[in-house]
Structure 1
Amino acid sequence: MKVTFVELPENLQADSPKWEDKKQLIQLEKSDVLLTNEMPFGRWLFDKAEYDAVTASDVIRENELGVEALKKLELPVVLSSRPIQHDSKLANEAFALINGVYHRAHRKQYFPDEPGFYEAAWFKGDQSGFEVINIGQVSVGFMLCTEVMFSEWARAYRRQGAHLIVVPRSTEQNVEKWKTAASLAAIVSGCYVVSSNRAGRFSDDITFGGHGFAFAPDGTLIAETSATNPIVSFELDIDLVQHQQRQFPCYVKEPNL
């Protein structure tokens, strides 16, 4: 199974020349699975500390158009996320497009609350938890950006039989802590862990850092994206996952506390 991960530009619009350029490059990969960054379309609007309903409607609409653009890639599987209305705030909903059909996969449960990233003011979680979604023979678990910092959920996905954990991100230029967290998620789960990120300047204070990456089931780095190589692919080996999940520390049983 060929898996592609990317870095896509800030304020990407579904009807823009930038998207057309990325679309052509993505299609050249002839991938089985494409992973985008978190909420890949539209401006980053969550630098404001107070929720605004009009702004929220705008970003919902931009990403609705984005979902339609992703369908037009005509890939077997696209993994991504989008904002949707949820009570008085938004939910960040991960989804899979499987042969163009939308399947809800997960809603983000952990939110940062700091300058540039006031997601706690804009989003809320729910009780949907962390459940795998099946794409053919591969079981996938989502950890949306901040969630990768909580590796207990990577291990929970392992117990559900996951082969691949995906981490759509919108993060700044310091990538090392994200790579450390992703590597640990791979080590404790025995899964491939793959991340795509937003890239480019948003404001004087925030520049999104790009650097999508993929880690093997033993936690070693496979590859990264860069500004000059923003679309990267690798072959996922299910046999390797199954082997690694029989090794330490994956086989260690949960304590009966």
Structure 2
Amino acid sequence: MTNELPFGPWIAAASEFDPEVAELSVERHRIGIEALKRLEIPSIISSRPVWEDKRLSNEAFSLEEGVVKSLHSKQYFPAEIGWFESDWYATKKRDFEPHIVGGLSVGVLLCTEVMFNEHARHYRNRGAELIVVPRATGKAVDVFRTAGAMAAIVSGCYVVSSNRVGQSPNGPTFGGKGFACAPSGELIGMTSPEKPLAIVQLDLAAVKQKQKSYPCYVAERIR
């Protein structure tokens, strides 16, 4: 997997929507996806900007055997210095449904969306085994690592996340530190400048077992 919107500059550092800059970002991601195809990796999950009406949608997608498939559109957008995403992105979609990618049932939470555990739990109820969290977050990454651990605990899924790194021109400094959490919430992998790539092996039997245990099995009862 890659970080969120990986190709070109972080355009949401600007507070005003610019259609020309938006179109340039769309084109850079088109070129970037063509480059990903040439890597011949069996399955890749990332995100890209696509036009939806007069704004962009931040669309998570899979790339398998040269075919791009839409997985999810981001629905939670920050609005603060460095991350004026609500000025750039929007969507009419309300989809949080898993898809089969690389033989796994995968749900996607794009960056800020991992803060909302109800969607991780929904993915579990829909049969997800893995939750993927592409991010573009700053230096304070601990809160996202905690959110990722909680997403794993409430869903019983593996949760993996990749983040941007480095200084964005006229924008924020991204903190890197991609991570992977086991279904228990335990941290089982993390990237660093010395280790920019993390590889984890998934035990799907552990997913099935965890999803039968507390708190995953707990049902909501309202009278």
* TM class, shorter-length: over 0.9
Partner of 1:255: 221
Partner of 1:225: 191
Partner of 1:100: 66
- Distance in 1 (CA, whole Å) between partners of 2:8 and 2:46 is 14
Q: How does 1:17-56 map to 2 (within 5 A)?
A: 35-56=1-22
Provide structure 2 residue ranges, at least 5 long, that are not aligned to the other structure. none
Whichever residue aligns with residue 254 of structure 1, its letter is E
Partner of 1:111: 77
Alpha carbon RMSD of aligned pairs, Å? 1.2
Whichever residue aligns with residue 93 of structure 1, its letter is E
- The structure with higher relative contact order (CA 8 Å, sep 6+) is 1
Provide structure 1 residue ranges, at least 5 long, that are not aligned to the other structure. 1-34
Shift of 1:106: 0.3
- Distance in 1 (CA, whole Å) between partners of 2:141 and 2:111 is 12
- Distance in 2 (CA, whole Å) between partners of 1:136 and 1:37 is 18
SS in 1 for 2:113: helix
Shift of 1:203: 4.4
SS in 2 for 1:115: coil
Whichever residue aligns with residue 177 of structure 1, its letter is V
SS in 1 for 2:13: coil
Shift of 1:98: 1.7
Partner of 1:83: 49
Would you say the 8 A contact 1:186–1:218 is kept in 2?
yes
**Per-residue CA shift, 1:117-157, capped at 9, x if unaligned?**
00000000222410101124310000000100111000000
Would you say the 8 A contact 2:42–2:64 is kept in 1?
yes
Shift of 1:202: 1.5
Whichever residue aligns with residue 79 of structure 1, its letter is I
Shift of 1:205: 6.0
- Distance in 2 (CA, whole Å) between partners of 1:145 and 1:198 is 11
- Distance in 1 (CA, whole Å) between partners of 2:88 and 2:9 is 14
Would you say the 8 A contact 1:76–1:100 is kept in 2?
no
SS in 2 for 1:82: strand
Would you say the 8 A contact 1:183–1:215 is kept in 2?
yes
- Distance in 1 (CA, whole Å) between partners of 2:214 and 2:90 is 36
Would you say the 8 A contact 1:110–1:125 is kept in 2?
no
Shift of 1:244: 0.6
Partner of 1:14: none
Would you say the 8 A contact 1:75–1:100 is kept in 2?
no
Shift of 1:255: 2.6
After superposing the two structures, state which structure 1 stretch, 228-237 or 127-136, moved more.
Answer: 127-136
Partner of 1:171: 137
Would you say the 8 A contact 1:155–1:189 is kept in 2?
yes
SS in 2 for 1:234: coil
- Whether 1:145 and 2:111 are equivalent positions in the alignment is yes
Whichever residue aligns with residue 189 of structure 1, its letter is S
SS in 1 for 2:78: coil
Whichever residue aligns with residue 65 of structure 1, its letter is I
- Distance in 1 (CA, whole Å) between partners of 2:189 and 2:102 is 24
**Per-residue CA shift, 1:170-199, capped at 9, x if unaligned?**
000111000010000000000000000100
| Percent of aligned pairs with the same amino acid | 49
Q: TM-score, normalised by structure 1?
A: 0.84
Whichever residue aligns with residue 97 of structure 1, its letter is L
Partner of 2:99: 133
SS in 1 for 2:160: strand
After superposing the two structures, state which structure 1 stretch, 243-252 or 195-204, moved more.
Answer: 195-204
- Whether 1:214 and 2:180 are equivalent positions in the alignment is yes
